[in-house]
Structure 1
Amino acid sequence: MAFINENKKLVSIIVVLILAIGVFLSLALTNDKAIAKINGEAISKDELYEKMVKQYGPDTVEQIIAEKIVALEAKKQKIIISDAELNGEVDKLKTSYGGEEVFTQMLKANNTSLDDLKADLKNYLTLRKLLEPQIKITDEELKAYFDQNKDLFGEVEQVKASHILVEDEAIAKDIKQKLTDGADFAELAKEYSTDVGSKENGGQLGFFPKGTMVTEFEDVAFTLPMNQISDLVKSDYGYHIIKVEEKKEAKEANFDDSKADIKETLMNQKMQSEYSIWLEGKKKDYDIENSLASIVG
């Protein structure tokens, strides 16, 4: 999906910026009024607008033309992306990020919304349906990729754990007693934990392999039975109270189990290279007039 969207956000911002400035300048300034001056020498709104068009215009127009061609080709072939398909892709992303909460955080961190993500997914799925019939992936290619990337498909032993971290031993003992008395682990983590990276999530650390945490923490986390709460664990960071929620055993890479993921990876790679060829071929089927080319050329 990255190959059709990597510049999309930038292009959208540029388009909005150019249009917004153009509208603002048209409403706020007369043709002869300067937007800035240097030693009395004026910079006009036309100078600014022309500069922006020359700098950003060609790429923006080409991007819009490409999007229009994709939409027209999809209409010709009666390609429709259903809500079920979109929601299915969103669910896959949620699973890959480890759940709804982390997925929502990802959206926020990337300054995007679920609606924006669905729009990008719809564009990707549309283009995929247009290109997929002409892309072939052989069993030999799948096996070659697997052999070259086995480390990507095996799984090391992992645990999913939460913890409460405090600096003072007396406070840690008090928290442990509250847990023994039936208090909620997540609520106590939010109230007491000094680990700012996990406390708002109830101390949740997600899945992690050996070698990720300090030795004292891992020695307990990888031996503690599921759904049990540890005694106090001392490390250089303070006192941990650990709860293990799930475990994943180590798993060797298996070609048959990995074929679907490999095919998806190769499909995206081939779409990356096929898209440009496909687009240039489709441009010949349309009467395209680009007036900006003569302005900035």
Structure 2
Amino acid sequence: MTNEMAGDKKGIGKRLILVMGTPLILLITLITYYITVPSANDYVAKINGKKITQSELNKELVSQYGTDALSTLITSKVIELEATKQKVTVSDQEIQAELEDLQKSYGGKEAFEAALESNATTLQNAKDNIKTYLTTTKLIEPTIDITEKELKTYFKENKDTFSQEEQVQASHILVEDEDTAKEVAKKIKNGDDFAELASAYSTDTASASDGGNLNYFGKGVMDESFEKVAFSMKVDKISDPIKTDYGYHIIKVTAKKAGKEATFENSKDDVITALMNEKIDVNYSTWLSSLYEDYDIESTLTSNK
């Protein structure tokens, strides 16, 4: 339900950085593997006895993807060398914090891992990409100037995005039928742990592994019936079973945030972050081209496209 009912758009930029690079990472891995690892056979496939040789595969991979893969590797190496030169480091704690933020933007750890699997990549690849992303950010930030005037203009033009809408933090247990919902509700009344019941019963797999946690959400995000009950409840209260198009829900409200209009003073840090990220996106290509000029880069691979 988490991904179906709530379309979370937070962290989209970071998602694109991680996910869009995935196919190229796979290609780099394939190219590296087939070029460097000798085969016990002189072929990689047979069709009616007709061989496709490893040499043919290597040639095709390099022909189609070699220059793109090499370009990505060169960029990563230049950034790594520049970080060493400027003594810029990224700690494991920073990577973990960014990873957790990214997982939340997907709707939880399980949903994030499913996204990795669907993109045929690994958690380690995601962490490597996060490290490169954070390193690049630390390198480019000092080259960007932001004036007070720019901050105030940006805030004025995007004020609504910095306002805090009324929000509810809730957990839920989603089941398919009313009988199961009543069974779970009875267990809760008898003192069974809500999170453990969510893990055992909930069909919303994205939240079940986290005790049914849906994090904070505002109005207009969830199913209307679900939302109406959640916003009307007091903190720490648990609802009776609620029917929606997704099944039967038992809701537990864990916290609330009152709506609050944004002011420049209380939003300034967020404005700086948002404007800095926007400027990094705009200036990245120019910054990278300038960085390349400081390094002696030689490539022997030419494109056959």
Q: Which amino acid aligns with 2:96?
A: V
Counterpart CA distance in 1 for 2:59 and 2:171 is: 56
Q: Which amino acid aligns with 2:216?
A: F
Matched, 1:183 2:192: yes
Instruction: Provide the aligned C-alpha RMSD in A.
Output: 3.6
TM-score by length of 1: 0.77
Superposition deviation, residue 9 in structure 1: 3.1
Distance 1:249 1:66, change over 3 A: same
Distance 1:205 1:71, change over 3 A: closer
Q: Is the 8 A contact 1:81 1:122 kept in 2?
A: no
Counterpart CA distance in 1 for 2:196 and 2:171 is: 12
Q: Name the residue aligned to 2:160.
A: 151
TM-score by length of 2: 0.75
Q: Is the 8 A contact 1:155 1:253 kept in 2?
A: yes
Counterpart CA distance in 2 for 1:163 and 1:182 is: 16
Counterpart CA distance in 2 for 1:214 and 1:81 is: 44
Matched, 1:136 2:145: yes
Q: Name the residue aligned to 2:112.
A: 106
Q: How do 1:154-233 residues align onto structure 2 when only pairs under 5 Å count?
A: 154-166=163-175, 172-193=181-202, 198-233=207-242
Q: Name the residue aligned to 2:93.
A: 87
Counterpart CA distance in 1 for 2:111 and 2:157 is: 33
State the secondary structure of the residue aligned to 1:51.
Answer: helix
Q: Which residue, 54, 58, 65 being the options, matches 1:49?
A: 58
Counterpart CA distance in 2 for 1:167 and 1:180 is: 20
Matched, 1:245 2:254: yes
Q: Name the residue aligned to 1:11.
A: 24
Gaps of 5+ in 2: 1-12
Counterpart CA distance in 1 for 2:236 and 2:277 is: 40
The runs of at least 4 aligned residues of structure 1 exceeding 6 Å deviation read 37-40
Q: Name the residue aligned to 2:287.
A: 278
Q: Which amino acid aligns with 2:256?
A: K
- Identity within the alignment, %: 41
Superposition deviation, residue 135 in structure 1: 1.0
State the secondary structure of the residue aligned to 1:211.
Answer: coil
Gaps of 5+ in 1: none
Q: Name the residue aligned to 1:287.
A: 296
Distance 1:21 1:142, change over 3 A: same
Q: Name the residue aligned to 1:28.
A: 41
Q: Is the 8 A contact 2:18 2:126 kept in 1?
A: no
Q: Is the 8 A contact 2:108 2:207 kept in 1?
A: no
Distance 1:182 1:268, change over 3 A: same
Q: Which one has a bigger Cα radius of gyration?
A: 1
Distance 1:58 1:237, change over 3 A: closer
Superposition deviation, residue 156 in structure 1: 1.8
Counterpart CA distance in 2 for 1:57 and 1:167 is: 50
Distance 1:247 1:27, change over 3 A: same
